[in-house]
Every structure is written in structure tokens, then in C-alpha cells.
Amino acid sequence: MSGNSFGKLFTVTGFGESHGPALGCIVDGCPPGLEISEADLQTDLDLRKPGTSRHTTQRREADQVKILSGVFEGKTTGTPIGLLIENTDQRSKDYGKIMDRFRPGHADYTYQQKYGFRDYRGGGRSSARETAMRVAAAGIAKKYLREFYGIEIRGYLAQLGSICTETASFDWDVVHQNPFFCPDMALIPELETYMDALRKEGNAVGARVNVVATGVAPGLGEPIFDRLDADIAHAMMSINAVKGVEIGDGFDVINQKATQHRDEITPQGFLSNHAGGVLGGISSGQDVLVSIALKPTSSIRLPGRSVDIHGNAVEVVTEGRHDPCVGIRATPIAEAMLALVLMDHLLRQRAQNPQPQTTTPIIPNKCV
Amino acid sequence: MSGNSFGKLFTVTGFGESHGPALGCIVDGCPPGLEISEADLQTDLDLRKPGTSRHTTQRREADQVKILSGVFEGKTTGTPIGLLIENTDQRSKDYGKIMDRFRPGHADYTYQQKYGFRDYRGGGRSSARETAMRVAAAGIAKKYLREFYGIEIRGYLAQLGSICTETASFDWDVVHQNPFFCPDMALIPELETYMDALRKEGNAVGARVNVVATGVAPGLGEPIFDRLDADIAHAMMSINAVKGVEIGDGFDVINQKATQHRDEITPQGFLSNHAGGVLGGISSGQDVLVSIALKPTSSIRLPGRSVDIHGNAVEVVTEGRHDPCVGIRATPIAEAMLALVLMDHLLRQRAQNPQPQTTTPIIPNKCV
Amino acid sequence: MSGNSFGKLFTVTGFGESHGPALGCIVDGCPPGLEISEADLQTDLDLRKPGTSRHTTQRREADQVKILSGVFEGKTTGTPIGLLIENTDQRSKDYGKIMDRFRPGHADYTYQQKYGFRDYRGGGRSSARETAMRVAAAGIAKKYLREFYGIEIRGYLAQLGSICTETASFDWDVVHQNPFFCPDMALIPELETYMDALRKEGNAVGARVNVVATGVAPGLGEPIFDRLDADIAHAMMSINAVKGVEIGDGFDVINQKATQHRDEITPQGFLSNHAGGVLGGISSGQDVLVSIALKPTSSIRLPGRSVDIHGNAVEVVTEGRHDPCVGIRATPIAEAMLALVLMDHLLRQRAQNPQPQTTTPIIPNKCV
Amino acid sequence: MSGNSFGKLFTVTGFGESHGPALGCIVDGCPPGLEISEADLQTDLDLRKPGTSRHTTQRREADQVKILSGVFEGKTTGTPIGLLIENTDQRSKDYGKIMDRFRPGHADYTYQQKYGFRDYRGGGRSSARETAMRVAAAGIAKKYLREFYGIEIRGYLAQLGSICTETASFDWDVVHQNPFFCPDMALIPELETYMDALRKEGNAVGARVNVVATGVAPGLGEPIFDRLDADIAHAMMSINAVKGVEIGDGFDVINQKATQHRDEITPQGFLSNHAGGVLGGISSGQDVLVSIALKPTSSIRLPGRSVDIHGNAVEVVTEGRHDPCVGIRATPIAEAMLALVLMDHLLRQRAQNPQPQTTTPIIPNKCV
């Protein structure tokens, strides 16, 4: 229990079920003086929200966030910020069929075993619906990081099923111009064809999402346990459907030699960034590079073998509205979690060291 | 700062530098009544300790752990358990050369930037030397999990450089019979040849380590943030040199269809374990499957470009004694971190639910 | 920052300003299966709410609480419980006069210095208005403690100014039958006369509130720092206007001899309860006795010397609606905080010891 | 369990029993660059240590502290500081008589009930012996607060039994010149006579200790729960034998009018300090005034009625060596706890606000 808070100094605590009256969270620890409005938070919420293309769930939610406290005359006051989003388009009747049975590969079974019973409507608390509040809360962190520290956090869909989007014509500018968060417009037709076929089949598929933070100063991260990369791993793995997390070269390091992996340093910059911006659990000043793997949702139309709450064998077919690829909408969520980690560690580093003490010059963040 | 504690109810807090007088930790939250002795903790410490084969660092440490408190008449009392290991084989002079320069790919640079100066002897706090205390502390958790819950945690070296050890003749019984934690004795000659060449070359290589927990009941994990898999990811990524973490199929899920990934359920058992024993952040009762990627150490004899603390370009050659593949000794460390996570979540689940409340039968942990 | 959460396993996190749109909190860590409704929480809220007698502030708030999550089909699900209370009777214009000056003895000055600026309307976050959420959240804990453990928590006004209410005709049953939470109806006229004069004078006065928990089993409390009494002291001192906390005999122990203070034990019960139910930071099974001192509010009509935000000398007169004795409404708040502490420690003790292990008979909780 | 850590950013975690081989603690979160040596910590340890006069326990402990990590070339490195004190003068045989019985008023009974069995030698973990580590850890905080912020923390014995020491001839300079921490040398003969008689009688008595922090800037404290005064109350009540805590006027506020209690403000300073330096849970810049009540120890020679672990009625006489007034040695312990709270909140405030943002002039800390 009490696992619904994230962050030590910049703390986000959330509540809310998929089909409850509302979702909410409390952002505790935001420094005073940040200019913030509901509009600032809405931008990312709109990127995440459902029903914006035929390739995501058809549930229609405005996801309008309300700021209930902690902001006075347009500025944060240093007191906790209460955020609320009302649910408007629940369709709980779709779930009558699964109230007494478990979707294979879904949290239905584990929630039942952990809590003894469960809110089955739309998956209750286990639904990715709660990630709306992560995105809303992170909107505050993102703005603070950008305005006071020049830190930018951006993500994109790196792979969908077998389609890799990291092509030669990678372009950050187009990521928000298509419903897939794809960095190469040339791939959109292929992605659409693939998703249309998948939807028709009633199946789902996995995806990879990459997130990059630029402008992170050296020194963030608190070894030995609260390393920056360890907290990033925690944050990313806490996102629904994520099964793997990589920093920098990730699993490629297994077959790398030291001479190949180590990022050599020159006064003008690093010669590479295999480390992904983290050394010894502390940011190096290079871009922070994170990659995550998202599994296919288990809520599909194709029948699967399972059991009911009495332990009897049953066949499960999921109705209701679902994302055939949850990875698509995961991009703003992954950005959000990275923002929360960086904001928290920024405050922790500030506590330790309000003014940098080192006289060692900082290596420029560029690969020369 | 204050990032040296792990766990919420079973809390391990550590201290100690590679070349300081001693390493220690405090295990706070161990329930009373567990029979424990220094010998119980020594077993895993001896598996991790350096100098046991020519393939690891030649530093000789007995790694003899002392229990200083929390145990009375052979049983834990419920009060904090103080553990201490004295360092005996420091050779700090080896490090004179790097006191004012940064090994590329090493924490030297980030520690200098974060703290303003650093204990350069053997890497100070950033050295994997501290992991001895993780293994010692986890020895208590492992014994508790085994004796009171029948949970077993085992790991092995899954890949070293390009050599994959997950062969058809996988055998748990041989893992501790060779210095590589390799599950297939037939591969030992190949591994030795590879490591001898690597050592001769003065280079280092990465590795993959897998860890499995068996006997974990359904219900461990505290969504939405303190999910079991999220805490595992945090724990694993906090181990020195780890750059990637996977649960179950990990990054393979990207190209999986839902019908392929979801683990179908029958009253007799699950039909597969792609999920790796965690659904919705909560244990399912299946084996918990974790895989991590470890980078090659950056402390190698081959020269690399870098800068000194004044920002001048220098060439760095690392002397001193180092593991050409830190992944080899990482197996007991990865087991230790998984044990700490499971122990902590077991206590958290006990707080919520001293007696299981569900009437839903538990699916047997076997793949039928 | 991030000081708005209370409790380690039963965690309450709050937000909201006196004159903002709403107050709210998240109760994270409530075990599943507790039957709870908004009506259950309303009882105590109505005891605390303003405007119920001429002796408290005339601000009229319905303090209607809404449960937004964590409860399904009338039972807690184990997921976080979101609670919301809308503000309806703000009268912010009253505060125009103090927006740029500091009430002597008020948080105005310290909030300004800490945060750089402040929401001056009704005291913003520093107003006792936020205690409504403490009472709402504790309603859940109180019900759980009562239904599953037979623990009862009750408080009363022990002293108002110079009027001590702990008379020979002490009667728990009348405490909720008068606006003062006074245990002796015979004193009501005297209290009313006193308060009427005080209001007329435009002044305020302090008070003492006592709280008692009955039915607490031995074993709650986590030495050495998270002692039960230490957490109670923390909880009580976190209530607005509290300047002192006592457990059992409190400050009377200074002049007690050991033979006088120690509570002797017989198999039939303890011979006294000077300790107030806590020994070595752990509950003894006797009643937990807590007493707190509340200062007079600093928001009064009588002019006082102060400075404005530019440091100029000014005279301050507080308009707006205020309690001439904040101690009166503090009784349900003090009960609430004791309930939160006991609930949290109950869960912590359950984690350590799901089934009592001791074979030592428990001393009955009665003074023989 | 896991209640042995104190502080959120400056975190002290301790271990050790009265008759175990050693006591220790880990100070995690000390900023780098503080010059610190074992000698710096020894000063306060020597003030607290037993056996220095006939008025305290005759147990002889050198209480020599060792720094095992976190300090390099005489300066803190920012990594955790491990501290160790070896026990040298245990005399466990004295306790054979109470191994199966409970001293009335002692933690014997509650530890037995909580943990199922206990280390009865010298009270095990419940002994005030552990406070040595609090004093050692706080020595680091005290030095940091003094050197970087000019904060001084001083305490004294304010009352012993019926003897009040706050006389007209109060003198800080003599507090450390007598074994009672008494601020008036003229009272020493009276105190000695009193204590000699008490010791002869085989009884014990309570005491009051006051602590003052000077030089605390406005802005420390994190409402609404982690108020500065709330954390002070927690810290003080966590000290063995403490039954009451007051801030400023404490319980005297009950009978104060607002006009009497509120500290009026002028540009030159405050007109009084009834608040004790805390308003709304945040430091005001005035001296922080704390007062605590300590009960008489329950370990006395005079027989008392009790039960044994089987519930049988017994008579208990305590042998072994004990303080007839634990309040005497409590002065450095109370200073230590106040230092830990201020250090933690200083870091928390730094995280929020590295550079003061307010333009409001700070009121000088003097009563004009």
C-alpha cells in the first residue's frame, strides 16, 4: 500500500480509477515563483489523451485539468498543487462480462489476489487512465526545468512491432505532427496500414519509445541507491505495459569492449555518448538517453484461455475500447516520468550544493 | 544526498569507500525471531569476493562480516542489525596517477562535478566494493524468504561478450561450481580462453546476468509507482555498471503480438511466462524473471583520451587491480538486490493484508 | 517543501488554501474491505466545521466531503482514496488590508520570508481550514481502528483560559452535546459568559485539549526514532496553534520520584497510568493519554504593532471572521491526528508481526 | 520496524544495544567540504558520557568515536559517514535477575510484547546508551550549522525535581563547568545534596531541560505536517524518558490572551518571543526555544510490584548501574536532536530556495 507517491522532494501523489468520477494528484514540493496555468499543462495532456486518431482507443475524454491550489496570481506559492481531471466518457457496461473473469496477461488476476476484490470497470486503478495525472503533474516540472535550467525533454516512437522509425531522415519537428509520435513522416503510410490491419485482426502489438533530456548539468543523482539512472528505471518501469528499460547503449553493452564503450573526453566535448549521460549514477552533462519497451495490451478481441474468480476454466474476449498499441500514447507519459525524476534530483542536488563548488571546468555537451 | 538507503520497511543503509578502513550497513526492519549467524551471510559474500580466480580482480579481501547488533542468542530481535566488513588489502598508491584525472567512462568525472572533490583511491564510494554490504544484508532477507515463505532466488551469467550461456544443457547445479556462474560446464574452456585473451589485451567486456525468484506468492507490489517490477528495475539499475533491465520477455515484447505475449491461464497453471511473473506491477505467482546488462569496466590498461581536473587534455591508463568483466561477480549482487526488493514488498503486503482475503483459487506456478 | 504528507504506510497527503476553490487529500494505504461512505466521514467533519455556534468563526461552510476514488460497491479497494471538499463561503475582500502587512504572532511573516510571496486571503495554506481534510481522512482510520481492533479515540476540551473542565462530574457522554466539547454541562454557562466577554473585547485566549485512545494493544511504536509517542508529538505539534504536547503525566514528571511515577504491574492490571500508555516508545496496552496546549489566535480586532512587507512600522487590526478560541474546534482535529498515528503504527506492526509471537500474557488494561 | 532513521535529507540511521559489542550510525546527506575530525565529535560525547561524576551511572565508557567513511583528507566528501563506538564496560551479569521479569515503568514489558523476546542485558536497544550515536552524529550537524550559518545550539538543566535553576544569575558560561549542566553555580551545593540523598534512598527523579538555537534564519520548516516545531517535537519525544515538549511559552499559552501572547513586531526587532521562534511551523528568525520534561528512570533499587514473562506476580529490584536522574545527561542529547532537525530543515529549505527570493526585510533577532 501507499505506493502512489513518486519523488522525494518534488513529490507527486495520485488517485483515481478508469471509471470513477475523477482522477487527481497532488504536486508537493514545487518551488514558489513559477508562472503556471492550466493551459501550460493542457498541451501535453492533449498529446496523451485518447480518441484523437483511429489508431488509439475511441474513448473520448477532454482531459481538462483544473488547478485547485498552490497557485496564486498566476504563480506557484510553494504550497501543494492540487490537480483534478473529471472522467466524462466511462462506458462501464462493456465490462460486465469480465467482472468475474481474468483477461490473460492483464492485472485483473493480480489485483484480485492482492486486494481480495477489484473495481473491474475499465480496469479500475490498473488502467493506464491514471497516467493522465502523471502528464499533468510533469507539465509543472517540465516548465520549471525549461525556464530555470534550460532542460528540454523530448520523446518519440522508436519502433512499432517490426517497424523501426529511427531512420536517416529523423526529424524532431515532425514528431508532434502525426498520431504516432514518429520522427519520420515518410513512414506514416506504412504505420497506418500496419495499425489498420492490426485493428481489423483484433490483435495488439508492442513498441519502443525513446526519451532524451538535453541541458542536464553534471551532478544530478544520489548514489549508491538513488542513482539518477536507478530512479529513471523505477519511473519508466512504473508505466503500464513497460517490460524493459535501457540507459544509453542499454543491452548492446553486453557485447561491447571497454575501448568501444567508454566515452572518451576532450576539453571540447565527449567523443561519444554510449553511457547515455549517466556515469556512476550521476549525470555527466551529456544528453540523458532512455529507451523503454512496451508490451502489447492484453485487452483484445481475440479469445484467450483463462479462469474465472472461482477458478473455473473460461474463454475471455475483451470488449470495450482499447489501444491496439499502447506504445503510441506512451511517448508523453515517458517524457513525463523523466521530467519528474530530473526535477526531483535537481532539488536534491540543490539541497546539497546551492552553488557549484567544483573548480573543474565542465565538458561541453557535444560529440566532437 | 541521503541516497544510501534502500527499502521502505526492510531498509538497508550503507557506508564505506573502496580504500577506507571498513564498509558497513544497517539492516532496519528485519522481523524478530529469525535464526541468523555470520556464517549464514558469509556464503554469498564468498561467492562475490574478489581474488577467487584469475578472471577477477586480484585484490585479496576476506570479506569477513561481523554482526554488531540486532541478534541475541542467535535470533534477530527486531532491532536494527549492524554489519561491518573491514578492508584489508587496499593498495592506494596505484591511484596516485588518476587523482587529478578522469578515467573515460568512469564516475571520476561526475563525482568531481557533483561533490567538488573526491576520494580517488580505488574509486572511493563509486567503487563496486560497496556491493559487499548489499550481499551481506541480503543474506538476511534471503534466509527469511526461504525459511518463512519458501522463496528461492538464484542467478547465473547468461552472456559474456558474444558467448551466450543459456544452452540446451542448462544446469542450475553447476552455476556455483565454476568461477563464471555459468550454467553449462561445457562452456568453461571457451570462457577461460576468452577471458585470458581479454586480460592479455588489457581490455574489458560486458555481460548479461539473469535472476529468477521461485515461490513468490501472488500479491506483492504496490501500484501505481511502487510496483514490484518498478522497484526491481530501481534495485538492478542501482548496481554498478548496469545499463539495462528486463522483466520477462523484456525488449522482445516490442515485436510481439498480444496473442503471442499474453500468458494464457488454466486451472492447472499458466501456459507460458512471458510476463516474468509480474502483471500490473504485482506478482502473479509465477517465477519472477529478471535480466540485466552490465557494461565493460572503464578501468583498463589501454590508454584513452580524457581531461584532468583543470580541463587539460590528457591520456589515461588505469593501473591497479580490476575485473576485466564486472558481470562475472555481479550474479550474487543481482540476487541480493532482488532479495531486498522481495523482502520489502513481502512486509508491505503483510501490512495490508495479514491474512489473504481473496477466495479466488491461486493458479499453480507451473507451465502446463 | 513536500511536507504535506503524514504517515508511512497509512499516508495522508493534503492540499488546499482557505480561500481557494477546494481542499482535498489522498489517503494512500487503507487496507481493502473496509465499508466506508461519505456519511461516515461527515460526522466528525460536522463537529469541526465552522459557524455552528456563536463561539466560533461565523464563516459558513457545509464541509461536504466527496469520495472520488478507492471505494467500490461501498468498500475500500486498497487503492488511494481521493477526498474533496469545496470552499463555498470565502470572503476574500476582508483581507485586502493585510495583504501587505503581517499580523503579529501569525504565519504571515514567516510564509512571506520562506516563499517570497504568499496567498494572503484568509491565511492561504497557513489557515486551520486545511484541518478539515485531516478530520475527513482520519474518519477512515477511526472506522478501521474501531471495527477491526476495537480502538476508540475520544477527546475533550480540558481547559479554556483559566477555566479547567476536568471536574469531578466528568462525563464523556456530554462532550458532543455542547459547542465547547466540555465534559461537564454544569460549566457551560460559565464558558459562554467567558467567551461572550472575550468576543466583545475583540481578544482571543488559549486552551488545552486532551485525547484518549482506548483498546490499543501492546506493541505499537517503532523505536528508536519512530516511537509511538514521538509520532504523536509530531502529529499534535503539526496542528495549527499547538505549542505543547504531553504524554501521560507530561510536565508533572519533572517533580516526581521514580516510586511515584512508575506504573506498578499486577496480573490483574496496572496500578496506575502515569506513563500514558507508552513505555520505551511502544504502546503498553493501557489507555494512550495525550494533552496539548493551543495558543490564542493572533487574528484579533485589537490593534497590534507590526511591519509591512517593505519593513515599515504599521499598526495591524484583523478583520474577517475568526475563532476567539481555536482550541474549541481543535478537539476533533486532535482526535484525527491520534487516529492517523495509531492507524499507521498498526499497519507497521502488522508488517513486522502478522501474528503475535510472544507467549507472555497481556496485562489487562484496567487500573486495579 | 525500520524506525531507526531520523531526517529526510540529513539522515541519521543508528544501531546498537547497551551490552552489544558496539554502537554505530550512518550520517547520510552531509554536504561535501565540511572540515571534520573525530575530535570535533568527541567534545559533546564527553559531555554526555557516563561515569564523569558520582551523580550519574558509574558505568565507565570512553565513548571514543571512529569515523569509518565519508571523510577524505579531513573534509566530508558528500558520501555517507559511518560512525562507530565500541562498548567496553558491559556488566551483563547484573541483569540475570530481570531477564524474565519486567521493571515497572520500563520498556522491558513493551519490548517483550512487541518482539516476542528481548535482549535484557542493560535494556538492550531500549537503553539510553544509543543516544551516544545521536550526539556523535549531531556533532557534524552542529559544526556545519555553526560554520556555514552561524547557528548556535545550547542547552541547560532548567529544573531537577523541585529545584528550578532558571535564576536571576543565569550564566551560559558555567553550564559546562558543573556536572549538572546548571546555569547557576550557586545552586550546585543544593543539587549535590539533593542527588546524594536521592542516591542513598535508591530512588530517582525527573527533570526539565531547555534548549535554545540562536542564529536560525526565517524560513525553516515545511508545513503543513513537516513543520519545524512538529519535527522538533518528534525529535525531542524520541529521547528516552521524555514525556513532554514545549515550544516557546508551551503550556503557559492556555491561560494567555492574544494581546499577551502575540509577539509584536517593529523594524528594529520583535517585542517578545512567546512563540519560541516558530510561527505557522516556520522559523521566524527569533531564537528557537524548546523545553522538555524527563521522567525519573524506572531502574531503581527500591522494590516494586510487577509480573514475570509468564504473567506471575513478582517483586522487582533493579541492580546494575543507573542514572538517578537521566535528565542530567540529557542536555547534550537534546542539543543533538535540535541540531539534527535544524540541519535537515536547512537542507530542505535550500532545495526549495537556494537564494532567498523575498524582498521583505528580515526583522532583527533581538527583543527591543
Q: What is the pLDDT of residues A256-289, one digit of tens each?
A: 999 999 999 999 999 999 999 999 999 999 999 9
What pLDDT does A356 receive?
62
Measured CA to CA, the distance from residue D207 to residue D161 in angstroms comes to 6
pLDDT tens per residue across span B123-164: 899 999 999 999 999 999 999 999 999 999 999 999 999 999
D264 pLDDT higher than 70: yes
- Chain A residues touching B253 at Cβ < 8 A: 206, 243-244, 293-296
What pLDDT does C359 receive?
75
What pLDDT does D357 receive?
59
Residue A92 assigned ligand-binding role: no
Q: Which domains are present in chain D? A: 5-352 (3.60.150.10)
Report the chain C residue with the minimal C-alpha distance to residue B353.
C31
Report the chain C residue with the minimal C-alpha distance to residue B343.
C351
List subunits contacting chain B, requiring 3 or more Cβ pairs under 8 Å: A, C, D
Give the SS3 label for residue C72: strand
What pLDDT does B322 receive?
79
DSSP B229-282: HHHHHHHHHTSTTEEEEEETTGGGGGG-BHHHHS--EETTEES--TTTTEETTE
Residue B240 assigned ligand-binding role: yes
What pLDDT does D358 receive?
67
pLDDT tens per residue across span C76-134: 999 999 999 999 887 777 777 788 999 999 999 999 999 998 998 888 999 999 999 99
Between strands A65-67 and A5-6, the pairing is unpaired
In one-letter notation, the amino acid at residue D364 is P
A227 and B205 in contact by Cβ < 8 A? no
- pLDDT band for position B91 (cuts 50, 70, 90): confident
Measured CA to CA, the distance from residue B285 to residue B269 in angstroms comes to 10
Cβ-Cβ contacts under 8 Å for B76 (sequence gap 6 or more): B30, B31, B32, B33, B34, B36, B70, B140
Measured CA to CA, the distance from residue B71 to residue D118 in angstroms comes to 10
pLDDT tens per residue across span C305-342: 999 999 999 999 987 777 889 999 999 999 999 999 99
Closest chain C C-alpha to D304 CA, distance in angstroms:
6
Residue D295 assigned ligand-binding role: yes
- Chain B residues touching C355 at Cβ < 8 A: 354
Closest chain C C-alpha to A92 CA, distance in angstroms:
13
What pLDDT does A237 receive?
98
Mean pLDDT of the B78-85 span: 98
| Secondary structure of C139-178 as H, E, C letters | HHHHHHHHHHHCCEEEEEEEEECCEECCCCCCCHHHHHHC
Closest chain D C-alpha to B10 CA, distance in angstroms:
7
Report the chain A residue with the minimal C-alpha distance to residue B255.
A161
Task: Pick the residue of D5, D6, D10, D13 with the most B CBs within 10 A to test the interface with B by mutation.
Answer: D13
Report the chain A residue with the minimal C-alpha distance to residue C78.
A115
Which of D33, D223, D350 lies closest to A351 in CB terms? D350
A68 and C16 in contact by Cβ < 8 A? yes
- Chain B residues touching A243 at Cβ < 8 A: 229, 246-251, 253, 275-276
C72 and A117 in contact by Cβ < 8 A? yes
Q: Which long-range contacts (CB under 8 A, 24 or more apart) does C4-7 make?
A: C4/A26, C4/A28, C4/A79, C4/A80, C4/D222, C4/D223, C4/D224, C4/D225, C5/A5, C5/A11, C5/A13, C5/A28, C5/D225, C6/C235, C6/C238, C6/C340, C6/D225, C7/A2, C7/C340, C7/C341, C7/C343, C7/C344
pLDDT tens per residue across span A1-25: 689 999 999 999 999 999 999 999 9
* Contact present, A303 and A317 (Cβ < 8 Å): yes
- Chain A residues touching B250 at Cβ < 8 A: 243-244, 293
Give burial (CB, 10 Å; 0-12/13-18/19+) of B359: exposed
**Residue-averaged pLDDT of chain D:** 94
D356 pLDDT higher than 80: no
What pLDDT does C1 receive?
62
Measured CA to CA, the distance from residue C82 to residue A22 in angstroms comes to 9
Closest chain D C-alpha to B94 CA, distance in angstroms:
17
Measured CA to CA, the distance from residue B257 to residue A205 in angstroms comes to 4
D124 and B68 in contact by Cβ < 8 A? no
Task: Pick the residue of C347, C349, C355, C358 with the most B CBs within 10 A to test the interface with B by mutation.
Answer: C347
Per-residue DSSP letter, C367: B
Which of D31, D351, D353 lies closest to A9 in CB terms? D351
Measured CA to CA, the distance from residue D98 to residue C188 in angstroms comes to 51
Closest chain B C-alpha to A43 CA, distance in angstroms:
24
Place of cell 484518549: C212
* Contact present, B106 and B123 (Cβ < 8 Å): yes
What pLDDT does B56 receive?
82
- pLDDT band for position C358 (cuts 50, 70, 90): low
Residue A2 assigned ligand-binding role: no
In one-letter notation, the amino acid at residue D314 is V
Instruction: Please choose, from the candidates D39, D38, D37, D59, the residue with its C-alpha nearest in 3D space to the C-alpha of residue D49.
Output: D59
Chain centroid to Cα A276, Å, comes to: 18
What pLDDT does B367 receive?
67
Measured CA to CA, the distance from residue A68 to residue A77 in angstroms comes to 13
Measured CA to CA, the distance from residue C169 to residue C365 in angstroms comes to 23
Report the chain C residue with the minimal C-alpha distance to residue B219.
C78
Which of B8, B31, B353 lies closest to C352 in CB terms? B31
- Chain C residues touching B78 at Cβ < 8 A: 352
B247 beta partners:
B290
Which of D29, D33, D354 lies closest to A354 in CB terms? D354
Interface A-D, measured as beta-carbon pairs within 8 A, has a size of 39
Measured CA to CA, the distance from residue C297 to residue C293 in angstroms comes to 12
Cβ-Cβ contacts under 8 Å for A72 (sequence gap 6 or more): C17, C117, C118, C119, C124
B1 and D10 in contact by Cβ < 8 A? yes
Whole-model pTM above 0.95? yes
* Contact present, D63 and D16 (Cβ < 8 Å): no
pLDDT tens per residue across span D298-343: 889 999 999 999 999 999 998 777 788 999 999 999 999 999 999 9
Which of D105, D116, D206 lies closest to C263 in CB terms? D105
List subunits contacting chain C, requiring 3 or more Cβ pairs under 8 Å: A, B, D
What pLDDT does D52 receive?
80
Closest chain A C-alpha to C215 CA, distance in angstroms:
25
**Complex ipTM, two decimals?**
0.97
Report the chain C residue with the minimal C-alpha distance to residue B31.
C352
Per-residue DSSP letter, D201: H
Backbone φ and ψ for D123, nearest 5 degrees, come out as: 90, 0
pLDDT below 70 — which residues of chain A?
1, 356-358, 367-368
pLDDT tens per residue across span B224-248: 999 999 999 999 999 999 999 999 9
Report the chain D residue with the minimal C-alpha distance to residue B67.
D21
Closest chain D C-alpha to C326 CA, distance in angstroms:
11
- Chain C residues touching B354 at Cβ < 8 A: 350, 354-355
C326-352 helix and B330-352 helix, angle to the nearest 10 degrees: 130
**In chain A, which ranges are E strands?**
5-6, 11-15, 22-28, 65-67, 71-72, 75-76, 81-86, 152-160, 163-164, 207-214, 242-247, 265-266, 269-270, 278-279, 282-283, 288-294, 304-307, 313-316
A33 and C68 in contact by Cβ < 8 A? no
Backbone φ and ψ for B339, nearest 5 degrees, come out as: -65, -40
Closest chain B C-alpha to C192 CA, distance in angstroms:
46
Measured CB to CB, residues of chain A less than 8 Å from chain D are 8-9, 29, 31-33, 78-79, 223, 347-348, 350-355, 357
In this structure, chain C runs to a length of 368
D326-352 helix and D131-149 helix, angle to the nearest 10 degrees: 50
What pLDDT does C259 receive?
96
- Chain D residues touching B347 at Cβ < 8 A: 1
Residue B18 assigned ligand-binding role: no
What pLDDT does C357 receive?
58
Measured CA to CA, the distance from residue B360 to residue A88 in angstroms comes to 32
- Chain A residues touching C32 at Cβ < 8 A: 115-117
Share of chain A above pLDDT 70, in %: 98
